[in-house]
């Protein structure tokens, strides 16, 4: 943990010196371990193309993520393997907890055929 903390501290200093928000590093560090949930207002959002309803936003996000992760070779590099059966059970239980706009699917890793990888 200490090497990561040192890296974050130095990266924040460099960002601040360059005029960027040093908090960007904490976001990058959290992204790989934090839940990847997007909260969309019930009334939708305003975009450069006008208002998008909740359903339109969800469909657009699902379509974009589906397209990005549609190729297994690319998907495994962006998602990573599932670490244990408890995590897999949580992924499989997600539909019972609320609406899922893009279902999880198994992804085959070309270099590690026994790896358990899911697009989510």
Same domain membership, residue 10 and residue 67: no
Helices 72-79, 54-68: inter-axial angle, 10-degree rounding: 110
Indicate whether 88 and 107 sit together in one domain.
yes
71 and 14 both lie in a single domain: no
Q: For 53-77, how does the pLDDT look when each residue is reduced to its tens digit (9 = 90+)?
A: 999 999 998 999 889 889 888 888 8
Number of H helices, E strands in the chain: 5, 4
Distance, CA of 110 to CA of 98 (rounded, Å)? 32
- Find the mean pLDDT for residues 10-14: 82
25 CA to centre of own chain: 16
8 shares its domain with 65: no
Q: Based on the domain organization, do 9 and 61 belong to the same domain? A: no
Do 50 and 25 share a structural domain?
A: no
Find, among 65, 43, 67, the residue nearest to 56 by Cα. Answer: 43
In a shared domain, residues 109 and 56 = yes
- The pLDDT of residue 119: 62
Calculate Rg over the CA atoms of the chain.
18
91-103, pLDDT tens digit by residue? 889 899 888 888 8
**Taking the complete model, does pTM exceed 0.85, yes or no?**
no
**Domains in the chain, number:** 2
Residues 21 and 65 in one domain: no
Query: Domain of 28?
Result: 1-34
């Amino acid at each position: 943990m200490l090497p990561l903390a040192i890296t974050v501290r130095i990266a924040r200093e460099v960002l601040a010196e360059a005029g960027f928000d040093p908090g960007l590093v904490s976001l990058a560090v959290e992204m790989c371990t934090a839940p990847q949930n997007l909260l969309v207002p019930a009334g939708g959002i305003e975009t450069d193309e006008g208002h998008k309803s909740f359903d339109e936003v969800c469909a657009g996000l699902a379509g974009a993520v589906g397209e990005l992760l549609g190729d297994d070779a690319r998907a495994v590099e962006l998602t990573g393997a599932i670490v244990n059966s408890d995590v897999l059970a949580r992924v499989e239980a997600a539909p019972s907890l609320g609406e899922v706009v893009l279902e999880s699917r198994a992804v085959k890793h070309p270099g590690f055929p026994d790896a358990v990888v899911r697009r989510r």
